[in-house]
Structures are given as C-alpha cells and as structure tokens.
Chain A
Amino acid sequence: MIEFKNVTKRYGRFGTALEGIDLTIDTGQFVFVTGSSGAGKSTLLKLLYAAEQPTTGDVLIEGRSVARLHPRSVPYLRRNLGVVFQDFKLLPQRTVIENVALPLEVTGTPRAEIAARVTEVIKQVGLKGRGDRRPGELSGGEQQRVAIARAVVGKPSIVIADEPTGNLDAALTHEIFELLVKLHEQDGTTVLVATHDTVELDHWNFRRIALRDGRLEPGGTDSLPLPPPAGAEVMKAAAGPEPEPEDEPEDEDEDEDEPDTDPDADPGDDEPDEAAS
C-alpha cells in the first residue's frame, strides 16, 4: 500500500508543486496520474522513488516512510520499484541485454541467474532476438520496451511510469499501455502511470488521480466516476458512483474504473508527444 499523507512539495521558496495531497493506493492497483504539464505528476512520482523529499507530510510504502529514508537506504527502496521515463534513460553504449541486466547487477545476482531472467523478460516485452542490439538500433517503441523490461526485471512490487509514451506515436503508445497492463495482470504489480494521453485514458478503465496545479482535483475517478465510454475495456467491475473530495482517499479501489468525460483539464491534448517535464 502506498500512502500520501497531507503532502506538500515546494521547490525553493515559491513554486508549490504539490499541495495537501492525501492519497492511498492499494497493492496491485493500476493507477493513472493525470493532469496537464506542470500539474505535479512527476513530482508526485519522484516522492515515491525518493528522488525528491516532501516539504511537509509523509509518503509511506507498506507503512514505511519513504520521505524520511536515509540516503543510504534509498538504493534498497529502488530495488523494489521499477521506474520508466519518457526519455527511456537507456545506456546507448550497451546492448539491450546489458541494459536490462543492470538492476540485477547492482544486487550482485549470479550471472547465470541474470542471463536466464533477462532472457525471460526480453521475451515478455516482445524483444526476443533483439537482445544484442544497442538502443540506437531500435525504434522508439522498442526502446521503451527495453526500459520497461529493465523496470520489471527485478520483480518489483511497484512500477512507476512517468509519461512513458510522451515520445511515441498513437499506435506505439497503445502497445506500450497494453504491455504495462499485461505485466500488471501477470504479476499483480502495483502500477502508476503518469499520462495526459486522453485516448488511452478513455480506453482503459483504471483509477485516475487527477492533478491540477499541485492539488487533487475532482476530475479523477476518485471523485467523479461515470460509465465507461463505448468500446473501452472494462478491467474491473464498476462500483457505484461515489463523488468525494480529493482529501478523502479511503476507498479508491472500488471506484477506480470509469474514465470521465472531463478528465484532467487538458481537453485539447490529443497529441501525446507534447508532454512536458
């Protein structure tokens, strides 16, 4: 379980990136974090993998504070998290296999075990036969698959993706989302995906956390569940509508399904690649 308890994050003295965030995400949930550029999506995710610390409040994973983690403990937290970025963050000089193996190298996993696990994951993300290529020899969609493989190779309990499809066209975007959902269903991994791709948001019936100017806003499914649009896959049974303010996060897993028609104050955003951050 992930908990944000009255979290505020300020960069420097003025800019408030997050304000009064209270949030609970149950283990095994798939959650979208939506909101236009600058809404605070990346900041919210960074607090989770301890790249930033909250100014006030606390962030807990399985009851343990991430915010107050000693810097030396951060690596051990991150071994249980897989993070995927818009710009992939792959090592250009290394092969797909070497890139994917890195999280296992840092834990000192035996080489034979690394080889077996990496082969398995590369197959899972649909990159079989491409293991010896370098990122430059792959398409953008394939590169993001490598990054996803790297994120899940260590079997983390939480996968965090920060606008993973921001650099990809619509078709590839959908493939990446399908892959993330597949991994989520296979392993029961908790997945948080920041996106403002409205097509994808409409397509999937997952809980949404909507941010606007650093605050939770009623645009999320947490507060305004509506029936899914036609053609959308219903991943989980819909619960009854239960509008609630953003600081009342107790029962999100029941009502996480409906994307609403007015999701995240970014209606004109049909171009997935104009993501900022």
Chain B
Amino acid sequence: MTPYAVRRAFKGIVEHRFLAVATIGTVATVLILGGAFLLVITNLSGLLDRWGQDVQVSCYLREDVGDEALFAIKAEIEAMPEVISVRYVSQDEALERFGEAVDGMDRILADLDSNPLPASLEVRLRPELQQPARVADVASRLSRPEFEDMDWSQEWVERFHTFLGLLRLSALVLGTLLLAAAMFLVNTTIRLAIHSRRDELEIIQLVGGTRWFARTPFVVEGMALGGLGALVALAVLPLLYKYAFVQLQASLGMLLSMGTVEFLPVPTLLGLFVAGLAVGFVGAFTSVIRSNVGTVS
C-alpha cells in the first residue's frame, strides 16, 4: 500500500463523493442492523446465563397437606446434597408476588373471592446443576405424593435456548445477505470509478505502471468506504443502545426480570469494524479483477 495508492484512493472518494457517501451509508446501515441484532442476542444470552445459574424447582403443594407433613418434607429436602435452600411460599405470598409482577394485576386479584394459587416449596439447587438432564433427575428425586405439580426454571431456559438458537441463525442468514448486498454496492461503486478513470489507467500503463500499481488505489478505496461505513456504525450503535435499548429495558425490564442491558463488548465492536473493511476489500477486489484493471491491452 504505497502512499500514492492511499492519496489516489481518497482523491477518488472526493471525485465521486455522492456515490461514496451512499456506499458508506449502506455499509453503515448494514453494520448497524447487524450490531443491533448482536446487541439483542448478547443480552438475551446474558439473561440465559443468569437464569441458568439460578436453578429453582417449584413444588406446588396439595391443599390438604398439613403443617407437620410440610415441615417433615422441607427438612428432608434440605438435607439433600444438591439443594442449597428450601423456602415455603404461602398462598397469600404467591398471590402478592403475582400482583406485583404485572401492572394492575393486584387490583384484579383483589376482586377474587378465593385465592386460586397453591402454596409451594421453592427449592434452589446448586449452580453446577445447569444441564437440563441433571435438573430433571434431581426433580424426580424431590417428587412426593404431597406435591400436586412441579416445575423448574430449567424448562424455560431450555425453550429459551431454542428460541435464541433460531434468533442467532436468522441473524446469521440475514447478516450474510446484508453484507453481500453491501459488498455488491461497493463492487458497483468501484466499477464506476474504474470506468471514469479509463484514461488515467491507460496513461498509467503507458508510463510503465504495473497491474498492481493501477489496482491498489481502487482496493484501498473500497476498504476506505467499508471502513468509514463501519466507523459510522460504531458511532451510531452507542446512541441506539442508549436511546432505544435502555428505554425498552426500562419499560419491559421488570416484566422480564432482566438485568441491566449491556452494550456490545470491545471484541464484537472490533469485529464489526473488520467486517466493514472486509466488505470493502472483497467488493473492490472482485471489481478490479473483473474489470481487468491494469492489464496491458
């Protein structure tokens, strides 16, 4: 990458600045969409991890279980090595929690004649029991005739896993398509640049410029377009995070019991920048090869 190539590349961008701005904008848009997707996926994955660490089995009690039997069962379960703690949640407490979790629900519940929610034992398991199979195994040993029903958060986690997998896959497919579209636009922009500089290319050949002397400025130009697009995306993503994601979290967070929404980690941001450069490089390189730039007539 000679200084000449760099100078020529940036001059090229200025020469057809409108097309250049459109191309930079497209690359930026693609990377912003990709970044937003990554933001969602990273945060949902984080959520998954936090849920996964907090494996809890709820054992819903039959209505006819007496206090004595209840204490016996609680003590028995607490003694199991997989269990960290057992907590009794009364019918009233369950109702109260449900009312808190959803806005306005408390007033609806206040109108009810009787409490429809069962009392339960909430059993917290050790965090190393994150694999769904092991949770199921422990749960089966927890099982008692006094329990009407059981459920454990791991089931949710599992379903969420599947959902997240689908989300990742669609992000991958969509991201690839968008990147391909951006690459195609860079390719077209560079092809037009090559076309408008035919005379110059002819002269370069006449004065003894090699193929790569003729080609490198176009490749650098493509990379500059991609890189600038990436920089725009990296400037916009924090704003998007601040004004859209954090807002969204503020209104939905309690319902979803999410933690704080995190911004993208540095390696991901670097990855986006490299993706921009790569889009520019591949778009320009293919254009230069196809147009046969610098090949002696």
Which A residues are closer than 8 A to B by beta carbons? 49-51, 71-72, 74-81, 83, 89-91, 93, 102-103, 105-108, 111, 150, 154
Contact = CB atoms under 8 A, between A and B. Distances in A.
Contacts, number: 56
B296 A106 contact: no
A103 B211 contact: no
Given A76-B208, A79-B208, A106-B210, A71 B296 contact: yes
Contacts of A81: 208
A89 B206 contact: yes
Contacts of B203: 89-91, 102
A247 B175 CA distance: 69
A190 B4 CA distance: 30
B274 interface: no
A244 B22 CA distance: 67
Contact of A106 (B200, B208, B297): B208
Nearest to A74: B296
B206 A108 contact: no
Contacts of B3: 111
Contacts of A90: 203
A75 B208 contact: yes
Contact of B206 (A71, A72, A78, A93): A78
> Which one of A72, A90, A105 has the greatest number of beta carbons of chain B within 10 Å?
A105
Contact of A105 (B4, B199, B202, B297): B4
A157 to B, nearest CB: 13
B43 interface: no
A49 to B, nearest CB: 8
Contact of A107 (B205, B208, B211): B208
27 contacts: A49-B206, A50-B296, A71-B296, A75-B210, A75-B213, A76-B208, A78-B205, A78-B206, A78-B207, A79-B208, A83-B206, A89-B199, A89-B203, A90-B203, A91-B199, A91-B200, A102-B203, A102-B209, A105-B4, A106-B204, A106-B207, A106-B208, A106-B209, A106-B210, A107-B208, A111-B3, A154-B208
A75 B205 contact: yes
Interface in B1-58: 2-4, 15
Contacts of A108: 2
Nearest to A91: B200
Nearest to B5: A105
Contacts of A72: 210-211
Q: What 3 pairs between A and B have smallest CB-CB spacing?
A: A79-B208, A78-B208, A106-B209
Contacts of B213: 75, 105-106
Contacts of B2: 108
B143 interface: no
A50 to B, nearest CB: 7
A102 B7 CA distance: 13
Contacts of A76: 208
B200 A103 contact: no
A242 to B, nearest CB: 37
Nearest to A90: B203
A90 B199 CA distance: 9
A106 B216 CA distance: 12
A74 B3 CA distance: 24
Interface string B204-247: 11111111010000000000000000000000000000000000
Nearest to B8: A105
Interface string B118-159: 000000000000000000000000000000000000000000
A88 to B, nearest CB: 10
> Which one of B15, B209, B213 has the greatest number of beta carbons of chain A within 10 Å?
B209
Interface in B188-210: 199-200, 202-210
B207 to A, nearest CB: 4
Nearest to A99: B203
B198 to A, nearest CB: 12
Interface string B281-297: 00000000000000111
Contacts of B211: 72, 75
A105 to B, nearest CB: 5
Contacts of B295: 71
B266 to A, nearest CB: 37
A76 B211 CA distance: 11
B200 A150 contact: no
A75 B209 contact: yes
Contacts of A49: 206
Nearest to A69: B296
B235 to A, nearest CB: 32
A51 B207 contact: no
Contacts of B200: 91
A147 to B, nearest CB: 10
Contact of A51 (B15, B199, B204, B297): B297
Contacts of B199: 89, 91
Contacts of A102: 203-204, 207, 209
A150 B208 CA distance: 12
